[in-house]
Chains A and B, each alone.
Chain A
Amino acid sequence: EAQVTQNPRYLITVTGKKLTVTCSQNMNHEYMSWYRQDPGLGLRQIYYSMNVEVTDKGDVPEGYKVSRKEKRNFPLILESPSPNQTSLYFCASSSVRTASTNEKLFFGSGTQLSVL
């Protein structure tokens, strides 16, 4: 089954304690990205990656890191989490080569992060 898998589903942590949210896709997609969802703001892009070893900042990258060492994985790293990073996070992927067809952005199930 084609899917984007995020882990964990829920995470509670404390300020300053490094954490990683994992994201993996099994569709051989080139493009992957991270979004955060906050009330009234919709989803905002944090980072994206066009392919292995190619990453770039989205609209709200401050306080986050990503890496793309393998095509299927795109982890989101918070080196020193702060309470303003409490949010619902989504990983997404899609194929670049089929952009002109009826391709869509596939989303993971989300990770609810609370930073105390």
Chain B
Amino acid sequence: AQKVTQAQTEISVVEKEDVTLDCVYETRDTTYYLFWYKQPPSGELVFLIRRNSFDEQNEISGRYSWNFQKSTSSFNFTITASQVVDSAVYFCALSEDGYGQNFVFGPGTRLSVLP
């Protein structure tokens, strides 16, 4: 069975600090897909990234970066120079089929960025 663990329930940082959100996953499949979604206070879910299991390249998008390590089954998310607008709940998710049939979310990490 697949499972996603986000051990950090809540994190508070001061603006401009770097912060890393951890995500550890479990799956028996050799092909799978990992996602990060952001849920701001307004409640909607905002797609951030999708990573395929056969692509271990790390990715950077502006202040966001993701570190995918199959050896440790982790897909960590780092925000550099955090801003107040980054305050949200962040969900890591795993899909074994890519389109959603077996889409499992982690419990989420609430990030508070203080001014």
Contact = CB atoms under 8 A, between A and B. Distances in A.
Per DSSP, chain A at the interface is strand
A12 interface: no
Interface in A1-46: 31, 33, 35, 40-45
B12 interface: no
B44 A110 contact: yes
Interface of B: 4, 6, 9, 35, 37, 43-45, 47, 50, 91, 93, 95, 97-101, 103, 105-108
Closest 8 CB pairs of A and B: A99-B98, A42-B105, A107-B45, A43-B105, A99-B99, A42-B107, A94-B99, A105-B100
A19 B89 CA distance: 29
A31 B100 contact: yes
A100 B95 CA distance: 12
Per DSSP, chain B at the interface is loop
Interface of A: 31, 33, 35, 40-45, 48, 50, 88, 90, 92-96, 98-100, 102-107, 109-110, 112
A103 B6 CA distance: 23
B50 A102 contact: yes
Contacts of A103: 50, 98-99
Nearest to B44: A109
B40 to A, nearest CB: 12
Given A33-B100, A50-B101, A109-B44, 6 more contacts: A31-B99, A48-B101, A94-B100, A99-B98, A104-B47, A105-B47
